[in-house]
Homo-oligomer: A and B are copies of this chain.
Amino acid sequence: MNYTFADRIATLSPSAIREILKFTSDPSVVSLAAGNPAPEAFPTDVIADISARIFRERPIDALQYSITEGYPALRNRLKAYMTYKHHSFSDERDELIVTSGAQQVMELVVKVLCNPNDVILCEAPSFIGSLNSFRSLGAKLVGVPMEADGMDTDALETALKANPNAKFIYTIPNFQNPTGITMSMEKRRRVYALAKQYGVLILEDNPYGDLRYGGEALPNIKSLDKDGLVIYAGTFSKVLSPGIRVGYAVGPKAVIAKMTVAKQGEDVHTAIWSQMLCDEFMGTVDFEEHLHDLQGLYREKAALMCRLLDEHLVPCGITYHPIEGGLFLWCDLPEGVDMNAFCTRAVQEYKVAVVPGNAFSVNDEPCRSFRVNFSTPTDEAMTRGVERLGVFAREFLK
């Protein structure tokens, strides 16, 4: 049998991260390529207690079919949380759906909004998981270059003018993956104003917002939304557990209603035990104190990574972008250097894996950066990994 696949799938190239991660199954390789939470970030004892309580008190609820919109108690809790903490939920205009991770928000939004070849305006570079999700439904991606304070809003306006079939702007405003950049308040207002002016929506993806360990928190773009323009994606992946696969979307009622119909055809509903766990966790612990602890953990790991880069890579001419939160640092190789050769030789010969920056390219735009992660490796592994990168960089860049 010769299999022919849908056009939408033909546009998907294998993820460069997955290719790199294959090498990391070799135990001698130090991986700075992943984006997993630190194992010590999981409140395993609290989770075990909550799970036992769920099976003691409501076992059938945890095992039976549930409704597509999400576990009602969790939805209500998240609506309240998004209202009092983020000023990002309007009872009048908005609805909330629980999803199987924030990844599913990306997929549902493009599924309900975009016909094939409709345009999505994306920060360039951006999170490969979202870009591939958009591509898998035939959307056309147009990149908007990143600046130190977020996407280039002049370029965004040019792109909006040039693409009347643009449907939404995709942004990760806090500690963007992969660049670590945070969008300034001025640009948040400008992006919102442009969306309104040109009649497009905004998909605001905020997986890392709670992991701020420096500087001042900025309001969500969703908190500016008086016109029903913003779909906000949140997740428990970075603040509780990614393995449970619980995210959520807040957006205009009409959009969430369509996403609900589409989700029903994808997985009926998100695993109910996972949703009950999130609800009980927020109700059991002091959630802000829990976030505070996580911020302390990642602040220290980020500081260690910066010290290591300063010591081993900066002297070779590799620079990195300052961050105030998140899980990643974005490093620039000197001009004229073959970035892919650097990343490939680093893992093959020096047994240290980083992600080549062009994995995050929107349309194959050239890139001489790579991404390093400091949340997953132990301090010891991080030290060993950057030392190895330093040895290699001194040879490669001499």
Using a CB–CB cutoff of 8 Å, the interface residues on chain A facing chain B are: 1, 3, 5-9, 12, 14-15, 34, 36-37, 39, 42, 44, 47-48, 51-52, 55-56, 59-66, 100-101, 103-104, 106-107, 111-116, 118, 129, 132-133, 135-136, 199, 201, 227-229, 237, 241-245, 252, 254-255, 258, 261-262, 264-274
Contacts and interface: CB of A to CB of B under 8 A. Distances in A.
A48 B44 contact: no
A-B pairs, 8 with minimum CB distance: A48-B55, A133-B265, A44-B59, A63-B241, A243-B272, A100-B267, A271-B271, A65-B242
Nearest to A240: B63
A373 B264 CA distance: 20
A228 B1 contact: yes
Given A111-B8, A136-B262, A243 B63 contact: yes
Contacts of A8: 111, 115
Contact of A265 (B42, B60, B132, B244): B132
A36 B48 CA distance: 27
A1 B268 contact: no
A193 to B, nearest CB: 14
A261 B5 CA distance: 12
Contact of A64 (B5, B14, B242, B267): B242
Q: Which of A37, A111, A201, A269 has the most CB of B within 10 A?
A: A111
A176 to B, nearest CB: 19
Contacts of A274: 271, 273-274
26 contacts: A5-B112, A5-B113, A6-B112, A6-B115, A8-B115, A14-B261, A15-B264, A39-B64, A42-B59, A44-B59, A48-B59, A51-B51, A51-B55, A61-B243, A63-B242, A64-B242, A65-B242, A100-B100, A100-B267, A111-B136, A116-B116, A132-B261, A136-B265, A244-B273, A245-B268, A271-B273
Contacts of A199: 1
A12 B3 CA distance: 28
B56 A42 contact: no
Given A44-B63, A104-B267, A273-B273, 12 more contacts: A1-B252, A5-B112, A6-B113, A15-B264, A42-B60, A63-B244, A65-B237, A101-B268, A107-B265, A132-B264, A136-B265, A244-B273
A38 to B, nearest CB: 10
